[in-house]
Amino acid sequence: MIARKYQHIAHYIENGVEAIRRTGIRVLALQDRYVKLLMPLAGNTNHIGIMYAGSLFALGEVTGGAIFAVAFDTEHYVPIVKEVTIRYRRPALTDITLESAIPADRVAAVETDLREKGKADFPLTVELKDAGGEVVSLVQGVWQARKMPEGLVNPLAKP
């Protein structure tokens, strides 16, 4: 379920960045510090009929921004990605979903860093699963929350 207060975030994740919108990614759930996302197989198959590696990557990578938006202060900070590793374990033959959550105490620690240094890293590890619950890919990334640059309005902030 998408919490009412996060409807604008869901809309932004699905439509805000043109290259992500093109994948047809769908937000299945947004709650405080929790996201569930889906990448459709349709429109994302590769040269051998399985999900294209880059679409699986997009699903994993967008998680950093999505978790940021339901865990941190989107009016004063913005997320960037520093590094991502994706391991392809099995062919992805169905729509693919992922769930990710960040604990409240971890958010508090990152926020302390943010207030003191103006930026703070937050690593995430996420499993991408097929319709049968098998892990097809594993994504490990490091994102960073940063003070909003002067003159920029965070598109993830409330409208």
155 binds a second copy (CB under 8 A): yes
Residues 6+ apart with CB under 8 A from 4: none
10 binds a second copy (CB under 8 A): no
Sign of the Cα torsion 14, 20, 24, 26 reads: negative
Applying CB under 8 A, which of residues 57, 72, 77, 122 lies at the interface with a second copy? Answer: 57
123 binds a second copy (CB under 8 A): no
Applying CB under 8 A, which of residues 5, 80, 108, 158 lies at the interface with a second copy? Answer: 80
120 binds a second copy (CB under 8 A): no
* H or E element at residue 57: helix 53-71
45-75 exposure pattern, b = at least 16 Cβ within 10 A, e = fewer: eeeeebbbeebbbbbbbbbbbbbbbbbbebe
1 binds a second copy (CB under 8 A): no
Which residues inside 20-49 make contact with a second copy, applying CB under 8 A? Answer: 20, 22-23, 43-48
Report the candidate in 68, 93, 82 with the shortest Cα–Cα distance to residue 6. 68
Report in angstroms how near the CB of residue 6 gets to a second copy at its nearest. 16
Which residues contact a second copy (rule: CB under 8 A)? 16-20, 22-23, 43-48, 52-55, 57-58, 61-62, 65, 78, 80-88, 149, 152, 154-156
